[in-house]
Amino acid sequence: MASASQTANLASAIGWTPPEGWPAISRDKCREILTAPGERFEMEEVDIRGVTLRTWKNAPPNLRAIALLGQSHGQREFVIYEDDRVTYDAWFRAVATLAHEFKSRGVEKGDRVALAMRNLPEWPVVFFAAVTVGAICVPLNAWWTGPELAYGLENSGTKLLVCDEERWERIAEYRDQCPALETVFVARAEAAHEGVAALESVIGQPLTYADLPSRELPDVDIAPDDDATIFYTSGTTGKPKGALGTHRNLCTNILSSGYNAGCAVLRRGETIPEPVPKTGLTVIPLFHVTACSAGLMGNIVAGNTLVFMHKWDPVEAFKIIEREKVNSTGGVPTIAWQLLEHPERKNYDLSSIEAIAYGGAPAAPELVRKIREEFGALPGNGWGMTETMATVTGHSSEDYLNRPDSCGPPVAVADLKIMSEDGSRELPVGEIGELWARGPMVVKGYWKNPEATSETFVDGWVKTGDLARLDEEGWCYIADRAKDMIIRGGENIYSSEVENVLYDHPAVTDAALVGLPHQQLGEEPAAVVHLAPGTEASEAELQEWVADRLARFKVPVRIVFSKETLPRNANGKILKKELASFF
């Protein structure tokens, strides 16, 4: 377990020392200033499902309000995808048109409207058309197979589906397994499909959204705590569970992200500047809460421009950053590593990049330094999960450089605590246990799964399954997923600790620790790593590297090398079960 002095040593080890006079004020003082009466981040207490919680007083009341804020940005560009460029005004015209079409197809408040497609300009149109009529939008994992997609449609009781042609070709043969599914719209189909309608027959193509008539959204009364979304969990064990989110959950993220940004400025001793629209490169799927809730919502309110990619490719990302003067990107640490380590990077002008932020997986402290050093950009990190609709903690800039192994403190409306394994007692500062989180971002529960809901959600708290500790100032340090911890002869080995040391090696850009069965010890640690292009490292060299930095029992007994980056699910989490084949 790292102490405060060890954390400071780690910051020094990555080549950063706090500038003179930093921090100008404490994080508590930031909270006092930012949440004062009349300020943008003022809080109020609200009863949510029988629990009194702090909420952002000035958060939009629902997703309809966010759509209307988006409309107010007029001719500012909203989405860029290949040759498609869509303004906010054009997007809103398409949203309103499709929302009325949904109503004409019998979609009522509380009905489920599923969305299954890659990141396309149509995605935010369909999402907001659904939620602004009071329907529950179900963003399905576009990486899923046909049976998995059918499971999501059947489990959610989806009434209307909008998908792209690739997803429909997977789903079509399973349609009879989805008895509630009445209507299907397919986007970007090269040929007509029996029993479905072309989305373009309603709203046209993205380049022609601006030609649609101007109309208001259908008149529907939506309360902050009405159901809004079902996002399915990663499903690494058993069937995926549908996390039932509310309008308040998604609207909370907008001010949570702004609050963290405000803290960074105040800690620097500066005044908060007037917001200026930015351009961001979205490289993680919108069906994940990080991209949809923590990303899309705040970007619409701010009037930012978002660039989508057909699929992730570092060189294509370099071209987009240079051409569109992208200010920010990120998502998961692997993406940041690839942007840093790719040999083609030197051939492009990436000077517009101001910030690279990520979450969803532990990040090596060395990555923090390299972002600052190589890009001159501010690193950012945060923690959340599907069940918290993304942002619970976060920090960036100097705070992150100062605590590179932390995911930050909770935002002002959230609470964290560390609990014993059986959940019976709260652990003291510095001890590792299960992280519990509470706040207006926590979802209602799991769709049609009361048993899992009662096991995971307790009196407003969500039991995260993450092992973590808190320091004296409330900063959170994620140690591992509880189920990923390796126990070697009774000694706990936290995967992220060993993985971070491997990441610190200059040749390693991807690393994962797994447990190998052992007759006497129970299990032993082993690692799979991917090396940066043009670099070399041997198993013995990496084992010695770890042994110089950690206790001997934590040194991987085997290290194997993958020619490709390690397999991940769409949320950026390494699929450790798939690594067994390496051994």
Q: Which residue has the higher pLDDT, 339 or 445?
A: 445
pLDDT of residue 229: 98
Q: What is the mean pLDDT of residues 338-352?
A: 91
pLDDT of residue 238: 61
State the CATH number of the domain containing residue 535: 3.30.300.30
239 has pLDDT over 90: no
374 has pLDDT over 80: yes
Lowest mean pLDDT among 46-50, 114-118, 235-239: 235-239
Same domain assignment for residues 90 and 50:
no
343 has pLDDT over 90: no
Q: Residue 379: what residue type?
A: P
pLDDT of residue 1: 40
pLDDT of residue 495: 85
- The pair of structure tokens assigned to 139 is 């963003």
Same domain assignment for residues 93 and 51:
no
Residue 409's closest CA among 32, 42, 29, 27? 27
Q: Which of 207, 222, 237 is the last residue of a domain?
A: 222
Q: Which of 481, 497, 528 is the last residue of a domain?
A: 481
Same domain assignment for residues 122 and 14:
no
570 has pLDDT over 80: no
**Strand bridging mode 112-116 / 160-164:** parallel
Same domain assignment for residues 260 and 182:
no
Q: Exposed e or buried b for every residue in 479-495, given b needs 16+ CB within 10 A? A: bbbbebbbebeeeebbb
Share of the chain above pLDDT 90, in %: 73
Helix (H), strand (E) at residue 395: strand 390-396
Q: Which of 349-358, 410-419, 492-501 has the highest mean pLDDT?
A: 410-419
State the CATH number of the domain containing residue 334: 3.40.50.12780
pLDDT of residue 568: 84
For residue 14, name the pLDDT band (cuts at 50, 70, 90).
Answer: low
For residue 494, name the pLDDT band (cuts at 50, 70, 90).
Answer: confident
DSSP string, 480-531: EEGGG-EEETTEEE-HHHHHHHHHHSTTEEEEEEEEEEETTTEEEEEEEEEE
For residue 236, name the pLDDT band (cuts at 50, 70, 90).
Answer: very low
pLDDT, mean over the chain: 92
Strand-pairing partners, residue 537, are: none
* 240 in a structural domain: no
* 233 in a structural domain: no
Q: What is the mean pLDDT of residues 530-543?
A: 94
- The pair of structure tokens assigned to 365 is 């402290």
Please answer whether residues 443 and 243 qualify as being in contact, where contact means their C-beta atoms are separated by less than 8 angstroms: yes
- Which tens digit of pLDDT belongs to each residue from 264-284? 999 999 999 998 999 999 998
State the CATH number of the domain containing residue 147: 3.40.50.980
For residue 260, name the pLDDT band (cuts at 50, 70, 90).
Answer: very high
- Which tens digit of pLDDT belongs to each residue from 435-458? 999 999 999 999 999 999 999 999
pLDDT of residue 60: 98
For residue 363, name the pLDDT band (cuts at 50, 70, 90).
Answer: low
Strand-pairing partners, residue 478, are: 468
Q: What is the mean pLDDT of residues 78-104?
A: 98
pLDDT of residue 2: 46
pLDDT of residue 262: 96
Number of domains in the chain: 3
**Can you list the pairs that 574-578 forms with residues at least 24 positions away whose Cβ atoms lie under 8 Å?**
574/361, 574/512, 575/236, 576/484, 576/512, 576/514, 577/236
- Which tens digit of pLDDT belongs to each residue from 95-113? 999 999 999 999 999 999 9
- CA torsion angle 468 469 475 480 (round to 10): -20
pLDDT of residue 145: 85
For residue 377, name the pLDDT band (cuts at 50, 70, 90).
Answer: confident
**Domain span holding position 27:** 4-58+246-282+303-481
* 406 in a structural domain: yes
pLDDT of residue 9: 61
- Which tens digit of pLDDT belongs to each residue from 285-306? 999 999 999 999 999 999 999 9
pLDDT of residue 220: 98
* 109 in a structural domain: yes
